[in-house]
Amino acid sequence: MAGPPGADPTDRFPCGCLVTDLERRIRFANAYFEHRFGLERDALSGQNLADLLTSASSVILESYVLPMVMHEGECGEVQMTMISATGERAPVVVNAVLRAEESAIYWSISSAVQRDRLSEELIEARRAVESRAEELQVLSMTDDLTGLMNRREMERRAHVLIKDARRAGRPVSMLMMDIDDFKAINDRYGHAHGDEVLRQVGHCLGEHGRETDLIARFGGEEFVILLPGTSLSDARRYAARIDGLLRAIRVDAVSITFSTGVTGVEDAETAGFEDLFKMADRALYRAKDQGKNRIAVESDAPGTDTA
Amino acid sequence: MSEHAVIRRNHVHVTGAGERTLLLAHGFGCDQNMWRFVLPALAERYRVVTFDYVGSGNSELAAFDPARYGELDGYAADVLEICEALDLRDVAFVGHSVSAMIGLIASLQAPERFAELLMVCPSPDFQERPPEYHGGFHHEDLVELLDLMDKNYIGWANYLAPLVMGGQADEALVGELSGSFCSTDPIVAKTFARATFFSDCRHLLPRAEHPTLILQNRMDPLVPVAVGEYMHAAMPDSTLRVLGAEGHCPHMTHSNLVTAAVHEYLEGMVA
């Protein structure tokens, strides 16, 4: 069974076998290190294992492998990078087990060139999937035509903003805007023209909105702006300003008008997104009902005005 | 946060008895179990508080926020919130490796909580900044480190869950990966690695307000000996002790040396 007299059977193993003390000083190394990495056995004796590894690997060794070996008695399948006698870097997989009674750690160190390639392919594939997932996420929350966020995304984000405002005791307001007689524009000038109107409205809102506001196309010709930290009176002024800007939009010399519902609560404690939405919707309905091309306000406070 | 919420979040443990309180903060990579070799001896003389940073050990992984924990300030906030929850004052803060700097940051923000800083194998900056500072690591070493971490913890679920689930990762799924001694959650581990190895805290050293013990190993693959000397020179009331040990975790491999150094230093403080 044994090899030639005097030969160390560990020299025939197709992996590196090492014994170190707890400070990683090498007590024993088999012949694999010389065959594979050109590291002579005599030179290895007394060397620190960390010196055979890249700096990055020594961080893994000190931060993961050694604490694991000390705490759990063993550590398995950790990939690191060895440096050969000629300075070449070689990926290796390391397993280690503690022999406390000998104050020794036994190590097996195997070549991991193929595993490393596989890892790289996996990481590459993961990156591709991640970036695809990110693209899809952006798509799923964006309104194609205007580039504004869509209804679902606004609802998702609004809850967080309203919760923050509630915590800070700040007001929250909402604008709901609807292009007047949009169907007539579509019918008269065609859908391409209607789309261009929507695009320009979206662009104008995106351009003049504050960073803290949420601006969404809610479908059709309806736009919703959530204004966290903005009082109802400020929201009303803001609505008038936006209305003025939107009025300037011309698509092939055709102008458009808007009906806008404005609402707000002084303390977000009293209302959530759904409540604001219902109130803004009521205000918008009233603006339409009163002849369109106007701003109507609805608040939860007594004495609601309907400008 | 309520007292109980912090204790649960950071898996805070209090043991031992004594007039002085030690707050032990683990370093990058593992969790409070790192202290178990020094804990029995310390608990004989001191009240000892140990914990896991959010993302490590048995902390609540759901509380992990990549933005907060992308900076050492986030970890310092954990320390201060634990101090508040337990109403700690005049603690002797013992921080391993990067936690030494986390403790320094915390001590500057709430000096009344701390009495001394005891730093085990600290480094204010792991990077080479020639010509005046030699932290031991080149930028490309640290890039390789993140790459190696990727290869060792190829986690699909954790990377994709937040994306697929719209930022709200399934807590049960994420939580399942925690609880092992050394963090195997790829996002948490890489976030901590970045905060640890890319931070430069050298400018904080002269501002230290508390007596500081710098415990260094005579040979530490992660911290060149010159770093200890640099810190000692920069910190106003500091003591440098070089232990006859090798490696980066003397509290695991040479627990007697570390406990002796802690006792000696703190006794010297009383005298």
* d(CA A226, nearest CA chain B) in Å: 21
Tell me what pLDDT residue B161 has: 46
Of the residues B220, B238, B251, B255, only one is catalytic, namely: B220
Q: How far, in Å, CA of A257 to CA of A105, rounded?
A: 80
Task: Quote the tokens at residue B41.
Answer: 């001896």
Query: Which chain B residue shows the shortest CA-CA distance from A70?
Result: B252
Q: How far, in Å, CA of B253 to CA of B121, rounded?
A: 13
* Interchain CB contacts (distance < 8 Å): A and B: 114
CATH of the domain at B217: 3.40.50.1820
Task: From chain B, pick out residues whose CB is under 8 angstroms from the CB of A126.
Answer: 154, 156, 159-160
- CB distance B30–A58 less than 8 Å? no
> Residue ranges of the alpha helices (H) in chain B?
3-9, 39-43, 72-85, 98-109, 139-152, 157-164, 171-176, 186-198, 225-234, 250-253, 255-270
Task: From chain A, pick out residues whose CB is under 8 angstroms from the CB of B197.
Answer: 59
Tell me what pLDDT residue A166 has: 86
Which residue of A62, A82, A137 is the best one to mutate when testing the B interface, meaning the one whose CB has the most B CBs within 10 A?
A62
Which residue of B159, B168, B182 is the best one to mutate when testing the A interface, meaning the one whose CB has the most A CBs within 10 A?
B182
Which residue of A24, A61, A69, A70 is the best one to mutate when testing the B interface, meaning the one whose CB has the most B CBs within 10 A?
A70
Specify the range with the lowest mean pLDDT, choosing from B113-117, B144-148, B204-208. Answer: B144-148
Specify the range with the lowest mean pLDDT, choosing from A5-9, A227-231, B169-173, B181-185. Answer: B169-173
| Pick from B145, B150, B182: CB nearest A59 | B145
Q: Is B251 a catalytic residue?
A: no
Q: How far, in Å, CA of B271 to CA of B260, rounded?
A: 16
Which residues of A are identified as catalytic? 221
B211-243 pLDDT, tens digit per residue, is 999 999 999 999 999 999 999 999 999 999 999
- How many helices and strands in chain A, by DSSP H and E? 10, 12
Which residue of B1, B253, B254 is the best one to mutate when testing the A interface, meaning the one whose CB has the most A CBs within 10 A?
B253
Task: From chain B, pick out residues whose CB is under 8 angstroms from the CB of A68.
Answer: 30, 181-182
Query: Which chain A residue shows the shortest CA-CA distance from B139?
Result: A56
Tell me what pLDDT residue B152 has: 83
| Residues contacting residue B237 through CB under 8 Å, at least 6 positions apart | B208, B210, B211, B212
Tell me what pLDDT residue B184 has: 61
| Residues contacting residue A116 through CB under 8 Å, at least 6 positions apart | A79, A91, B151
Task: From chain A, pick out residues whose CB is under 8 angstroms from the CB of B151.
Answer: 79, 116, 119-120, 123
Task: From chain A, pick out residues whose CB is under 8 angstroms from the CB of B179.
Answer: none
Asked if the peptide bond before residue B131 counts as cis, ω within 30 degrees of 0, the response is: yes
DSSP class of residue A137? H
CA–CA–CA angle A39, A76, B145 (5° rounding): 70
Buried b / exposed e along B16-38 (16+ C-beta atoms within 10 A): beeebbbbbbbbbbbbbbbbebb
Q: B14 - beta bridge partners?
A: B49
Counting the structural domains of chain B, the total is: 1
State yes or no: pLDDT of B44 exceeds 90: yes
- The ipTM of this complex is 0.83
| Pick from A62, A78, A133: CB nearest B249 | A62
CA–CA–CA angle A257, A259, A260 (5° rounding): 130
State yes or no: pLDDT of B168 exceeds 60: no
Tell me what pLDDT residue A225 has: 96
Q: Is B255 a catalytic residue?
A: no
Task: Quote the tokens at residue B18.
Answer: 């004594």
| Pick from A55, A67, A129: CB nearest B137 | A55
- CB distance A24–B163 less than 8 Å? no
Q: How far, in Å, CA of B239 to CA of B214, rounded?
A: 6
State yes or no: pLDDT of B126 exceeds 80: yes
Nearest CA to A71 among A53, A50, A93, A97? A97
Interface of A with B (CB under 8 A): 22-25, 48, 50, 54-64, 66-68, 70-72, 78-81, 116, 119-120, 122-123, 126, 129-130, 133-134, 137, 156
Query: Which chain B residue shows the shortest CA-CA distance from A127?
Result: B159
Tell me what pLDDT residue B57 has: 86
Task: From chain B, pick out residues whose CB is under 8 angstroms from the CB of A67.
Answer: 29-30, 34, 181-182, 249, 252
Query: Which chain B residue shows the shortest CA-CA distance from A72?
Result: B181
Interface of B with A (CB under 8 A): 27-30, 33-34, 36-37, 136-138, 141-142, 144-145, 147-152, 154, 156, 159-160, 163-164, 166, 181-182, 197, 219, 221-222, 245-249, 252-253
Phi, psi dihedral angles at B265 (to 5 degrees): -65, -45
The residue range of the domain holding B43 is 3-270
* B94-118: average pLDDT: 98
Tell me what pLDDT residue A4 has: 58
The whole-number mean pLDDT for each consecutive block of 10 residues of chain A, a chain of 307 residues, reads 67 95 94 94 93 94 90 90 95 96 96 92 87 86 93 90 87 95 91 92 90 91 94 94 90 87 85 91 95 90 49
